[in-house]
Amino acid sequence: MQNIIEVKNLTKSFKTGDSELVVLNNMSLQIEEGDFFSITGRSGSGKSTLLYQLGLLDHPNSGEIVIDGVNVSALDKEGRTKFRLKELGYVFQDYALLPELSAVENIVIPLLMQGLEREEAYKKAEDALHKIGMSERLNNLPNQLSGGEQQRVSIARAIAHEPKIIFADEPTANLDSETADTVIKTFLELNSGGQTIIMVTHEPEYARLTKRAIKIGDGKILNDGKPENVIQ
Amino acid sequence: MEKQKRKFDDFLISVKLGFFLAFRQIRRSNKATTALIIFVMALTFLNLVVVRGVLVGLIQSTINVYKERFTGDIFISTPLKKDYIENSPNIIDIVKNMPWVETYSPRYTKGGKIEGTYKERIDYTEKSNEANATITGIDPEREDATTGLSSKIIEGQYLTKDDTESVVIGAYLLKKYFPVESAAFSTLDNVGVGSKIRLTINGNIKEFTIKGIVKTKVDEIDMRVFMLDSVMRTLAGRGDYNVNEIPIKLKLGTDPVMVKNALVLSGVGETARVQTFEEGLPKFVTDMKNTFALLGNIVGSIGLVVASITIFIVIYINAITHRKFIGILKGIGISSQVIEIAYVFQSLFYAFFGIGFGLAILYGFLVPFIDKHPIQFPFSDGILLAEYSATFLRVLLLTLATLVAGFVPARIVVKKNTLDSILGR
């Protein structure tokens, strides 16, 4: 498999008062296409920070990120927004659905932004909801859905435009174990279809289900490899 | 070219999607909050139109009443340093034959003295009950047709052609209606309809009965005594039929300036002063008109700023409370332009319905109500002046202000870091 992500010497630090906190320190890694990749580590270790850099939601201080052959570090703000729209999908810890939009409308937004005709966009959105077993809750508003259902809608939004990579930031953190299992099962099904997924999790049992895991701490990759070897 | 087309296509998508987001956000927002914002917008709009409308309407009604009751559309009067309009019969003939003239009313005027309660006077060391006034001789029917004087009789009755022994007196000459007493100005006490008064004009004294009291809120009328023109001619020694004033009422839609020019061209200007009603207005009225218009514009401008700030705050609060969702939208690749357009649409929605509601209140209730129940001012019956053109201008200004006031806060919030917005930090 070829690499879909190549990270070289990635550094990200934050100013905290007079001092500077280095969260990612000269980090390099590659992720293959079709991988189900988990990022683990203690709280505050920089898991989410790494995910945000890879997902172009944040800008590193230095280093280079190449996604599917495109040096995304060199893109301007507009270019990064367009890249996110077309090539990447996101699943957030708190679902991040727009409260005024129904399930299907939440999914249709990025599709319309891509210039799809209304009918086609709605069809794709409905297909995505069908794929994750939510086709009967199309017109429900987020507040009419359970946490698990909202997260599945969020997944449907992430996959509807067939992105190259899905980034999931602790997608099971707010869910009960049964619902969390369903979400992970959905990810596994998507991955079995060839979808690249990069997931941050602090739950070892879910990290173990992925194909590859890294554990980060002190701004560096402490362990990298098969999840059963990385997670203790 | 290709790049420009792509940019235009992107813009179209942004507009469509912005509308999509705005529509849903409004549709699913709290109905009471939306109604409140629209109500505030309506009040802001009314503040913009009504305050100015009342200020300008106050003066406009003064002008209107001055024109209606005193000068007509054209006012022919005695030149300065003359006692009357020379060659008046010829001038009246010219006026009569003009096709644009609907009606006119020649008036004889002369300063005179009025005495009241003179029969009851016992102590001659006391000051007599008297006032100075402009005595005016009129043809009651002509005057009424020109200025509608009979409709302004507040007590008693208007004159008829046979009332050779009666007068109509202006309310401001009576203490009852104008309780002001000064060294320079006095009014008649204990005099009303049916009272006998003694008039002294040109040294001639004659007793009259007060038949009616007139109040128009125009000093030039309310400080006069009206009698029949035939009686006045005798008292004032005007056997030559030379008059002092001729208010002319023109047919509807006639341009007074054009008629004035025609009168001047026909030689009327040689022996008389010819003015349009606007030229005939007292200077204080034109000064007040300009001052009130300026005040109206200042108040209107403040209203516009207040409206802009109101909508700015509303949209800013809305955008701030939606900051996380704005971050999410940006995060999933929705352009800033879409989000800004969505907020502009929202502010336009509030403006559209707020202004619409305001217009309904204005033209459906306030204007007709104040028309029927004018605001009582000492010098006129105040109306609410809301001309369509001025209102349309304010609608346009408020819409533009709303557009900017909706865009700016949206831009401020959209400009914030995407990740910070998503994480709420």
- A52 CB neighbours in chain B (<8 A) are 419
**Chain B contact set for A85 (CB, 8 A):** 332-334
**What residues of A are in contact with residue B330 (Cβ under 8 Å)?**
81
Residues of A in contact with B8 (CB under 8 A): none
User: Mean pLDDT for chain B?
Assistant: 89
Task: Return the percentage of chain B with pLDDT > 90, whole number.
Answer: 50
Identify the H or E element spanning A54. helix A47-54
Retrieve residue B318's tokens: 């809305």
Average pLDDT over residues B28-56: 87
Residues in chain A, how many?
232
Residue pair A171/A181 in contact by the 8 Å Cβ criterion: no
CB contact at 8 A, B232 and B137? yes
Question: Which strands sit side by side in the sheet containing A62-67, from one edge to the other?
Answer: A19-32, A3-16, A62-67, A70-71
- B376 — pLDDT class (breaks 50, 70, 90): confident
Cα angle, residue A218 at apex, residues A215 and A220 outer, rounded to 5°: 55
Please state, in angstroms and rounded to a whole number, the distance separating the CA atoms of residues B86 and B107: 13
Size of interface A-B (CB pairs under 8 A): 67
Nearest-by-Cβ selection for A84 from B20, B29, B332:
B332
Closest Cα partner for A52 from B221, B417, B137, B125? B417
Percent of chain A at pLDDT > 70 equals 100
Residue B384: is its pLDDT beyond 70? yes
Residue B37 pLDDT class (50, 70, 90 cuts): confident
Nearest-neighbour CA in chain A from B401: distance (Å): 27
Tens of pLDDT, residues B201-257: 988 899 999 999 999 989 899 999 999 999 999 998 888 999 999 999 999 999 999
| The predicted structure's pLDDT at residue A51 | 94
Question: What mean pLDDT comes out for the span A74-88?
Answer: 92
Secondary structure letter of residue A140 according to DSSP: -
Q: Is B275 strand, coil or helix?
A: strand
Asked if the Cβ–Cβ distance from A110 to B29 is below 8 Å, we say no
Among the partner residues A58, A82, A98, nearest to B328 by beta-carbon distance = A98
Which residue's structure tokens are 């022996």? B271
- Give per-residue pLDDT as tens, A131-157: 888 888 889 999 999 988 998 899 999
Which of A15, A50, A54, A57 should be substituted to probe chain B, the one whose Cβ sees the most B Cβ atoms within 10 Å?
A57
Instruction: Residue B263: name the closest of B34, B54, B104 by CA.
Output: B104
Measured CB to CB, residues of chain B less than 8 Å from chain A are: 9, 13, 16-17, 20-21, 24-25, 27-29, 324-325, 328-336, 338, 418-419, 422
Measured CA to CA, the distance from residue B346 to residue B330 in angstroms comes to 19
- Reduced 3-state DSSP string for B160-208: CCCCCCEEEEEHHHECCCCCCCCCCCCCECCCCCCCEEEEEECCEEEEE
Confidence of residue B122 (pLDDT cuts 50, 70, 90): low
| Å between A4 CA and nearest CA of chain B | 19
Poorest-confidence range of B41-45, B255-259, B360-364? B41-45
State residue A175's pLDDT score: 83
CA–CA gap between residue B143 and residue B147 (Å, rounded) = 6
Pairing of strands B380-382, B375-377: antiparallel
Residue B135 neighbours by CB under 8 Å, 6+ apart: B109, B110, B111, B112, B199, B201, B224, B225, B227, B232, B235, B236
| Confidence band, pLDDT 50/70/90 cuts, at residue B354 | very high
Q: Mean pLDDT for chain A?
A: 91
3-state secondary structure of A38: strand
Give the H or E element holding residue A16: strand A3-16
- The stretch B132-141 carries a mean pLDDT of 94
pLDDT at A123 > cutoff 90: yes
In 3D, which of B69, B221, B216 has the Cα closest to residue B152? B216
pLDDT at B78 over 90: yes
Residue A98 Cα, gap to closest chain B Cα (Å): 6
Confidence of residue A67 (pLDDT cuts 50, 70, 90): very high
Concatenated DSSP letters for B375-407? Answer: EEETTEEE-----HHHHHHHHHHHHHHHHHHHH
B334–A109 CB contact, under 8 Å? yes
Residue B232 identity: M
What confidence score (pLDDT) does residue B151 get? 94
- The whole-angstrom distance between B408's CA and the closest CA on chain A is 20
Q: How far apart are CA B226 and CA B158, in angstroms?
A: 10
Q: How many Å lie between the alpha carbon of B413 and the closest alpha carbon of chain A?
A: 16
Cα pseudo-dihedral B1, B2, B7, B11, rounded to 10: 100
Residue B124: pLDDT band (50, 70, 90) is low
Query: Is the pLDDT reported for residue A33 higher than 80?
Result: yes
Residue in chain A lying closest to B328 (CA) = A96
Q: Give the mean pLDDT of A108-113.
A: 93
Q: B162-186 pLDDT, tens per residue?
A: 999 999 999 999 998 888 777 777 8
